Structure 1
Amino acid sequence: MELESNEGSTETMEEEEAAGSGEREAVVVFFDVETTMPEGPERRRTLLEFGAVQLCSRSLAEVAPPFATLVRPAGGDLGEGAWVALERKGITRADLAGAPPFRDVADGIHRVLHGRIWAGHNIDGFDSEIIREAFAEIGRSPPEPKGAIDTLPLLTERFGRRAGNMKMANLANYFGLGQQIHRSLGDVRMNIDVLKCCATVLFLEENFPKMLKGYPGFLAPDDVSMEFIQVSLSLSHQFRRSLSMKHNDRPLQVFCADLRIHFDIRPCYQDSAGRPKLNIVVGIPESLRNVLQSCDEIAERSSQVFGSTSVWNPVVREYGYAHAIRLNLTFGGDDEINGTEIYVKEAISGNIQKQVLSEVDAADLSSWFAEGNMVDAYFSVELYDYMQNAGIRLVAKKLIVTAYA
């Protein structure tokens, strides 16, 4: 089996960089390893393949031919299960039997990696450890990175879970990059392509937020990463405790489109200013249900830790056969700065017109937010604890309702 390889000196490559640019560019080495997986407590992971692509940190151009090599495992048979898995990847017994042992390729791998910026998907938790274990087994010091870029936590934090989980196969499928082949060099190139796609999307969203995201600061359900959800405690000017829910240190705000209204507005109750209390009940997709139920669990635990003894009210309810939530509309201050923005979209023409909530009468509200109508909702996830009742309150910041009449 032929593999692209480069085991020449990297000093020549760096000299060419310096001559071409006037200064020495940082080199980012994207790499990936393929291994056997332990089948028992005494089995260790065995390095079978290494692949790397070396990129200029400024241009992302390849600064050297790719390096890839199979590695002949030391010490007997890998086990029938391992061979079956390897043959699915296109690695045969004959390929590994004819491959060099790690001791023979260690110099080349060391030259590629040492003193460079390492990059890869889950390299901190897997690939880097495999490299260190392999060098330790032959009694040599491992290569050391100048720095490391693990795209797994990076994309989880910045890109979110739009593709479902953050496995490379799902990310590649999301961008239409084809199937992951689980070969080192192929996976490296896929990792680079996925990172470029994510960076492009984030760049466009950052520079054209209203055009592409509609309302900046709000996350789609698939963009919410539960590991970044936290509940913080603060004290008001009257020394009253207040809990808030945040995502990556920012207030959690969510966007979800095409929600069907199950219970329409019925302005029977009034607030302290004599204005009607307004809310609607809408059905939600599974993605939003999973996010809000996880938020519920985190918030309830945090509330108890902070000493609350109130009864917790779940934010997601069952209405018939559907899961639904209640969205609360607010008037805000006298100038409506913080009130719910309402936009009415005509079903036939698609024209959208903004409405001022304080100027809208009950008949119009009942018509727009009638049962069965569809609404796009932008809302904040807020916490309350009042009169021995606690839970999550969803406050509508912007609603785009489709009017059919």
Structure 2
Amino acid sequence: MAPTPTSDNRPEICFFDLETTVPQRRGQGYSILEFGAILVCPKRLVELHSYSSLVRPDDLSFVSPASVRCNGITREAVVSAPSFSEIADKVHDLLHGRVWAGHNIVRFDCVRIREAFEKIGRAPPEPKGIIDSLALLTQRFGRRAGNMKMATLANYFEIGVQSHRSLDDVRMNLEVVKYCATVLFLESSLPDILTGNPQGSPISQSSDDGKSSPEQPSPNMHTLSSSPTSENVPNLSPAGVGNSEHHPRISLLTHHIGGANADVSNPVQPDPFNMGLLRNEIKTEALQSDVTMEEKTEQESQDIEIAEGSSSYAGFLALDEVSLTSVNASLVPYYHGTQRIKLLHENDGLQLFCPCLRVRFGVNGKFLNQGGWPRLSFVVDASPSLCEILNACDNAAKTIFEDCRSSSVWKPIVGRNYRYINNPTVRLHIPTVANDNIARYAAEIHKKDSSGTVQKLVFSKFDAAELGNLIRGGIFVDAFFSLDTYDYQQNAGIRLVAKKLVIHSD
């Protein structure tokens, strides 16, 4: 048996990407349809070796029309391809003991690789470090390059169109990183001239990176930082893979310079590649809570006036104040050259107030966002009048969405699973923000006692279990919420984001 390679003799960076099926029902899981990887010299950033293979899933019926729309890989294309167990040796050899790199790999590709090896009864390969370019490039380029989809970044730098095939995508990923690094290097030499107001290529509406996950969060507006996992290695990935102690996340462009105690007060222009400084900077700008960097709600939706002595917010409409004929949607400016869909009522941003919503399923911390914090949401029964309004919003936003020719699948906002639940339901999301790795709720939470007295709750810490004890099935809440559109990881739709919740006593 050949000796297990060590990280000392495997200095190459392995950029890799997976194309998978798109699950059609909860619990179905993903099947790998293609694996592609390149080995890159870390000193010269040149490709040394490449490998790719289509993969035949255990069940060809998993290759659904939605899956084909995502990556173009059909059942006919994989019917004669090797199974994952047949290429597992090659995949393991490429990945084990090397630095792994890719776009959004921490949340998606790394997880799928581990699942695939566990499924065939083998120990998965272990990286000596993980580079997720999604977090790294968002911190340095998110403001100018719009959303952080690979297709958008490629369009920004005019280096081609994303094919959603593994080998093409990893090569494009490497080129995007090179372009970003070059621009940052030039800007660091003439910061007063080149960083004033950079003019880039307009960013058009683009398709997604094709890594869909029904249990992953969708975009809205709040941000959440990730926690550093090591004093010596900067945290550049949205979430850990397995035990973070064994998976340090490192920079593609340099070793850690200056250490965690580098003097950031020096008036000299800071080194843009100093990952020690970057670790300290990745706070509210780097990662998004409940969602990702893809979306950010306009500032006006956050500047909410509270009516003095009132239990309501100004600017929120009661259901009987909404005219269905006045509900519409419009494209509004977003990041440089991009647009997003905004829901309106008589030309004002639509926000709703719904009293006495019965909680069907309470808050739980089972699923985590990419920052490693519990993703907080709960399900309530939807009244007929609420369903009418939300259906009108769905129709208005979906019409514009279809005109944008996104490849994502539009998800109706109202759930109607009458097989298990008699009433239609909707999901309310509780946004979170973090500063200095301390998370807090971005929505006001109040408690109403039996006498009708409303008191604002003050939480000493972020605790999903504590919130779950307050918002549980069977109780009633008054909810003030915004309607935010999203288009992320092949899913699109409208999210109801809580601004204020009043929890009724039992």
Query: TM-score scaled by structure 1?
Result: 0.49
| Higher-Rg member (1/2) | 1
Query: TM-score scaled by structure 2?
Result: 0.40
Task: Report which of the two has the higher share of strand.
Answer: 1
Question: Relative contact order (C-alpha < 8 Å, sep 6+): which is higher?
Answer: 2
